[in-house]
Amino acid sequence: MRVAAATIVSRSRVALARATARSFRGQHPEVPFYCLLADGEHEEIRADREPFEMVRFDALAAPDDECFRFRYGEMELSYAATPFLVAHLLESGFEGVLFLKQETMVLDRVDGLLEMLRRHSVLLTPHLLSPPEGEGEFERARNVLRAGVFNGGVLGFAQCEEARRVLEWWKQKTWRLCLLDVDHGLHYEQRWLDFVPSIAPRCGIVRDPGVNVGHWNLPERRIEAREGRVTACGEPCRIFRFSGYEPERPDRISRYSRAKVAEAGGAAEVFARYQRLLEECGWRETRALPYAWGVYDNGARISGEARRLYRELGEAARRFGDPFRTAGESFYAWLSREHPAALEGGGHG
């Protein structure tokens, strides 16, 4: 089975993609690893010296490309592009695609997942394999309900009609609604995955405790690190997710959790290993790279409010053409008349 692995990042987070690619290729040198750069190109990111094969955003052939890039901010766009990248790789001839979200380190081979792709159309990994217990169990369970039953950090799609239908459906959802709005049932691209078992009878649920270990399930996973080998509940720890980890604050497990790395038992060694890998991958040198699609063509910063107003215009926004353009009867000109506060000062910045 000819498979590929992939991730998505913007320029400022390219070190995370490098870390994921290096760790995956260290376990599976035979599998090509791709990274979609959901951003403009930059001299600091050169395809000929990266540990991944780079995919340009325009290669996705997403509908209304400028609109797609304008609708969302930096992180939102990275998430919204997920089904488009997977579909692109399947259309390129791969029989299966394993998607690993940024902030991931692969610690062991994932042959079990690749074998599951032979038998299932879509692979999903739940946040939890058992109900949370102990202190804070109710709040932890409620947080999972807010984020969705399944985590978007480890996914698989096979080359089959059922998977293609799921991807086409998912594309429509993420193009239009890939936002963090838990009060209205949205958690970026992730909450939509709750529908997949209903619409894809051949989907497979990954129940390996060593896959998709993250801050949300660490209390149940029992991580041990001995002689360089990491286990989760006695099984090989294969994929560790560092969602919300901030390298500038290495004492904290995640910005989404109050837990400290020093209190994480055997997982503390895994966090230390990830911190070292990010440093090797140039995190300090690339973290401040500017987001190419964060400004209009006159250099003025695009505010979150401007993006919200653009989304709410719906089909009516098409009359403005390229939303990044500021000359003539543009979206920028309309904002300056109708919602000047959304221009955040206007002019060059």
The DSSP symbol for 151 reads E
pLDDT of residue 347: 40
Least confident span in 111-115, 139-143, 167-171, 206-210: 139-143
Mean pLDDT value of segment 150-177: 98
Mean pLDDT value of segment 148-156: 97
Condensed to tens digits (0 to 9), the pLDDT of residues 8-65 reads 999 999 999 999 999 999 999 999 999 999 999 999 999 999 999 999 999 998 999 9
pLDDT of residue 163: 98
With both helix axes pointing from N to C terminus, report the angle between 14-27 and 267-280 in degrees, rounded to the nearest 10.
110
Q: Is the pLDDT of residue 322 over 50?
A: yes
pLDDT of residue 192: 98
pLDDT band at 228, cuts 50/70/90? confident
Looking at 3.90.550.10, 3.30.200.20, 3.40.50.1400, 3.40.1400.10, the CATH number of the domain 3-207 comes to 3.90.550.10
Mean pLDDT value of segment 261-286: 97
Q: Is the pLDDT of residue 255 over 60?
A: yes
Render 188-217 in DSSP notation, one character per residue: TBTGGGGGHHHH-TT-EE---TTEEE-TTT
Please give the Cα distance from 158 to 122 (Å, whole number). Answer: 6
Please give the Cα distance from 263 to 261 (Å, whole number). Answer: 5
Cβ burial of 36 (10 Å; 0-12, 13-18, 19+) is buried
What is the sign of the dihedral through the CA atoms of 323, 326, 330 and 336? positive
pLDDT, greater one: 228 or 155: 155
Tokens of 106: 């692969």
CB 274 within 8 A of CB 244: no
pLDDT of residue 345: 52
pLDDT of residue 349: 33
Q: Is the pLDDT of residue 108 over 70?
A: yes
pLDDT of residue 35: 98
Tokens of 102: 């940024």
Where in the chain is CATH 3.90.550.10? 3-207
Listed residue (94, 80, 45, 100) closest to 238, CA to CA: 100
pLDDT of residue 346: 45
Mean pLDDT score of the chain: 96
What is the sign of the dihedral through the CA atoms of 226, 229, 234 and 237? positive
Neighbouring C-beta atoms of residue 37, cutoff 10 Å: 23
Tokens of 277: 């890998």
Q: How far apart are the first and last CA of the chain?
A: 50
pLDDT of residue 135: 82
Condensed to tens digits (0 to 9), the pLDDT of residues 66-91 reads 999 999 999 999 999 999 999 999 99
- pTM of this structure: 0.96
pLDDT of residue 308: 97
Neighbouring C-beta atoms of residue 202, cutoff 10 Å: 12
